[in-house]
Amino acid sequence: MKYYFFAATLPDISLDSPPPLSFADFRRQCREQLTPSDRSAVEAIARNGTATATSPPDIMPRFFKRWHAVETQLRNAVASRRGTAAGVDTAPYRHEHEGFRVEIEEAVDTAFAKTSPRERERALDGLRWRLLEELGGTDRFTSDSVLAYACRLRLSERWAGLTPAAGQEKFNATVERISVSDIR
């Protein structure tokens, strides 16, 4: 399906600046512009970032099958690096996926060479961003491109929300939940 008008109206987004469009606004526009199948895919992204966790393989759009494969490889690579550092065998936690991309493994290695957790997460989400751009294709009017945009918009909103004030608020909430009995 081609979405000429809708895709043409979507503003540019990046990980480096707050998105000019909220995901909630994007979802509202999708309800008016997309086919029922593509609307369902956007709703799945709203629920959990990708449709792969809840959608049966026979009804998943082609985009999600491809996204699921690269995201699973990325998560397996991250689990492997963390397991190695902790001395844990991660084999039981890794999941099967189609294909294998050397650049994902190399990018995860590069991310884990970063000294700060924030830099590491930024590198991993930068990899996700690049993979999503690739999976969306060069024709920005396709449903693949719109679905990749939805995933990138979620990433952009996530990074816009990672502020010192938001971090302090989460820290304070966590400290409030911890009781003296939890510490013992």
pLDDT classification of 53: cutoffs 50, 70, 90: very low
Span of 7-11, 44-48, 94-98 with lowest mean pLDDT: 44-48
How many CB atoms lie under 10 A from the CB of residue 46?
Answer: 16
Which pLDDT belongs to residue 184?
56
Burial class (CB in 10 A: 0-12, 13-18, 19+), 19: buried
Q: What percent of the chain has pLDDT over 90?
A: 74
Q: Are 110 and 123 in contact (CB under 8 A)?
A: yes
- Calculate what percentage of the chain has a pLDDT beyond 70: 90
Q: Looking at the predicted structure, is the pLDDT value of residue 103 above 60?
A: yes
Question: What is the mean pLDDT of the segment spanning 174-183?
Answer: 71
- 91-99 mean pLDDT: 94
Q: At residue 152, what is the residue type? A: R
What per-residue confidence (pLDDT) applies to 84?
A: 94
Q: Where along the chain do its domains lie?
A: 4-183
Asked whether residue 56 carries a pLDDT value surpassing 50, the answer given is no
- Mean pLDDT over 62-91 rounds to 94
pLDDT of residue 54: 46
pLDDT of the residue at 73:
97
Confidence of residue 48 (pLDDT cuts 50, 70, 90): confident
Confidence (pLDDT) at 183: 62
| Rounded (10°) angle between helices 23-33 and 36-48 | 160
Instruction: Express each pLDDT in 4-35 by its tens digit.
Output: 999 999 999 999 999 999 999 999 999 999 99
Interior CA angle at 1 toward 17 and 153, to 5°? 15
**121: its two tokens:** 């997460």
